[in-house]
Each structure stands twice: as C-alpha cells, then as structure tokens.
Structure 1
Amino acid sequence: MEDKYIPTIEGNLRKHMVLVPKVIEEASGIRIFGKLIKSLVFTTDIAIIRNCNADAVLAVYPFTPQPIISQALINASGLPVFCGVGGGTTTGKRVTNLAEDAEFLGAHGVVVNAPTPNETLEYLRRKIEIPIIVTVVSERTDIRKRVESGASIINVSGAAKTPEIVASIRKEFPELPIIATGGGNDESIRRTIEAGANAVTFTPPTNGQIFAEMMVRYRQQENVI
C-alpha cells in the first residue's frame, strides 16, 4: 500500500530541527490518555525538546529526581512528559512522593529504575492513576511479577541485547505495552520494532554537537567571503 502524501509546512526560523528517525513511524505506538505515542526523545534539555518532532519526552536523568525539574519540563515542553522518579538510589516513600507530585503537575506517566522493589510498585499503583513505566535491563527480570505489582508499561534498555529482550517479553505477553531503546541507526531501530516494541526512545545529539556542526558551516562561509 502506498504511503499517503503528507503536506508539510515549515517556517524559515523553525526549519532547523532535531528529527527522530522516520523508521520509528513503523511502530504501532501506545495510546495514552488519547494520544498515540511512537517516539520518545530521551533528554531533559528544553531547547532540544522545543525543537524536536518526537511524540513525547522521556525525562530520566542520573541525579536525584527533583519536582522543580519535572515542573519546568512539563510546563515548557509542549509534549507529554514521562518523569523519572527514582527507584534505584532514591527509594521508599520518597519515590511515591515524587510520583504523586509528577501526577499533580501533569505528567503523562512516571518512570522507575530497574532496581525498584516490587513492593514499591504495589504501593505506587495504589497512589497514582497515571502509567507506571518500569525499566528493564536484563532478560532475567521477572516481567510477570513486575506487571502483577503494578507496571503499566515496560521500558527495555538492554543496549545491544534490547531486541532479544523485547522479543522474549513479547512472546510471553502479546499485548503488554513496550517502549525500547532503538540504537543508533535505522537497522537497529527496525529490529527493535520487529521484535515487538510499540514505541522507541531516541537519544538526540547534544547542544554541543549541534553547535559544532553549525560552527563548521559558519567558518566555511567566512572562508568563501
């Protein structure tokens, strides 16, 4: 079946954007609160988020989660935001407090780290309505117990083993929503989707990398003059 023609409108100033790989459109997507999400940009950089065409934001970072960061991202992004609330270093009641705060601020879901105890998931499920996204980094994870404890969505982050972890989960749970990292090229993203991922996370270039490319062009223009 031929792809339908999609009219595209771009402004002169907003033409320069970070675009997610087109292959992600092949994913089925996950419909959350009425919005279909296929691509999630993995960043907390507001400038990148405001200039990216991803469907949503995966706001997970390697520091203790702070409500003020969640608030800034939710208010400024213009996209559904899934906020990291810990579960590894940040544990216990603090995780629940952060999750409740994220829900009140308008987050579309919360993300907990792989070491999060199942008891914490059970408590979270009783406290919040928004989806609980549980990160999985190994094929040894007891997915059934995660789901029974309250996981709404599984987020697979297994580096090169991601497609096989996704395939293993999909075989046992045909309808479980799965987000997964796609890797650095179209081929690896397609493998992840074919393995059963419903949505794919995309790690964008940093501000520094984008600026470096721009500076090369500026220098070239200066040399031409």
Structure 2
Amino acid sequence: MGNENLEKKKKFVPTIETNLRKRQVSVPEVTYRASGINFMGKRIKSLLFTNDIPIIVNNNAQGIMSVYPFTPQLKIISAIMEVASVPVFVGIGGGTTSGIRAVNIGLQAELMGAAGVVVNAPMTNENIKLISESLDVAVIASVITKYDDIEGKVEAGAKVLNIAGGKKTAELVKYARSIVGNEFPIIATGGHTDEHILETIEAGANTITYTPLSSAEIFSEVMDDYRIDMRNS
C-alpha cells in the first residue's frame, strides 16, 4: 500500500498557468511514453512539425521540426530560431536543393543554433556524406518508403532517421529497425490519435513528430466560442 501511494505521488505533476498564456498547442500525453533521443544533453520525446510562428511560440513540445516544401531560406530559419524556446531541427534540402548549396545552408543553420539539420528523402547518399562531414550537428535523413536506401543513408553519415510513411509509418519504423538495429535513433510521425502514436512508439520510434492545427484553424475554433458566448450573454 505504501509503495502504491509513493508511485501516485511520483506521477503527480503540479501545473502552473497564466490567464494570458494558458491557451497553447499541447502534444498528446501518450507521446511521452517514447524513450526520447538525447541531443547534446537534452532528451527529446516530442517534436512539433510546424513553421507557424505563433504556434512555435505557444506549445509544450520539446522541439520543433521545421521542414517545408520550398527551397530552404535563411530568413525563414532565422525567424524560427529567434522565437523558438526549444531545440529546432531545420530542413536544408533534398530535392532541388542539394550539394554545396545544402551544405552552406546547413552550416548557416548550425551557426544560428539549429540542433540538427533534416534532409528530405531524395537527397543522395553522396550529398548526405558531404553534409555530415561538413557540419558538427546531426544530419537527420528522411525515409518515406521501404524502397529508400536506409542502410546507405546511415553509412553516408546520417545520425538519425526521420520516418514519415503516412498510414504505414509504424510498419516502416519496424522495417527500419530490422535494418539499423534497436539502438539507432529514429524520429517518426505519430498521427493524430493516441492509438496511432502508441503503435508507432511500440514499432520502435524514439521520438514522435506531431502536426498541430494551423493558427487559422485554431482561431476559427476560438471565434466559434466567442460567437456562442455573445449569443448566450
């Protein structure tokens, strides 16, 4: 009985909020069942996948994953790094952006304080090797299908795999684990339900990436609440 009470006391976490800043984007609690990845002394279990500045300022995730479908630009990286209060992992290319240009963007991102750089799935192993040899921060290689050269990316210098397989992410994580073993760091998208996130963690993901609603979607919900309050007043 004494041990049960002690366990309950250990799990209770006091919460401090303010009236002006209590509205924030929260990652699902189940995310914290992941083991996490230790980046330079900081254990990260949850990453928020967003480039939305207000969301980056108002969330409880342990890190930010900033990747977007445009050519990487330093002013975007700079803006995100300036407002983020947690480690930021930035995309530096993979499709149309590669080679020396990706290296230069990565080096600038590192000097701005990025915790790691993300290369998209089309990035060649030769380019991954070039980037990994040029930067001090971790190179995170994206994997989107089992046909990706997972072993080749790791041998080229990728320190972490970023797995995004859509509905088949958990299956792809399990497949990657069979190639890289149980200890290689894996980040993976978790989906929007506790069941999908837990399935991805159990498949072998160390850190979960969560995609939040946009500022516009959240503001729409807030406005609906305001309309109800005004109608009832």
After TM superposition, the score normalised by the length of structure 2 is 0.94
Q: How many residues align?
A: 225
How many angstroms apart in 2 are the aligned matches of 1:206 and 1:126? Answer: 36
Q: Deviations over 1:70-120 (max 9, x none)?
A: 111111111100010001111221111111111111100000000000000
Q: Distance in 2 between matches of 1:105 and 1:153?
A: 21
In structure 2, the partner of 1:100 is 107
1:39 correspondence with 2:46: yes
Query: What is the Cα deviation at residue 53 of structure 1?
Result: 0.2
Q: Is the 8 A contact 2:74 2:108 kept in 1?
A: yes
What corresponds to 2:226 in structure 1? 218
- Is residue 48 from structure 1 mapped to residue 55 from structure 2 by the alignment? yes
Q: Deviations over 1:119-161 (max 9, x none)?
A: 0011111110100000000012221111110100000000011
Contact kept? 2:99, 2:130, Cα under 8 Å: no
In structure 1, the partner of 2:4 is none
Look up the match of 1:58: 65
- Alignment partners' CA distance in 2, 1:82 and 1:135: 12
**How many percent identity over aligned positions?**
48
Displacement, 1:7? 1.1
Q: Deviations over 1:173-203 (max 9, x none)?
A: 2111000000121100000000000000010
Unaligned ranges ≥5, structure 1: none
| Residue identity matched to 2:141 | V
Root-mean-square deviation (CA, aligned residues, Å) is: 1.0
1:190 is matched with 198
Q: Secondary structure at the match of 1:187?
A: helix
Which of 182, 187, 190 is 1:174 aligned to? Answer: 182
In 1: Cα distance, 2:71 partner to 2:176 partner: 29
CA distance in 2, matches of 1:123, 1:224: 62
- Measure how far apart 1:171 and its partner are: 2.4
Which aligned segments of 4 or more residues in structure 1 are displaced greater than 6 angstroms? none
Mind listing any 5+ residue stretches in structure 2 that lack a counterpart? 1-6
Matches of 2:231 and 2:198 in 1, distance apart? Answer: 41
Give the whole-Å Cα distance in 1 for the aligned partners of 2:97 and 2:134. Answer: 17
CA distance in 2, matches of 1:190, 1:110: 26
Q: Which residue of 2 aligns with 1:20?
A: 27
Asked if structure 1 preserves the Cα contact closer than 8 Å seen for 2:89 and 2:117, the reply is yes
Q: Read off the aligned partner of 1:202 and give its amino acid letter.
A: Y
Alpha-carbon distance in 2 for matches of 1:67, 1:216 = 37
CA distance in 1, matches of 2:145, 2:69: 19
1:204 matched to 2:212? The reply is: yes
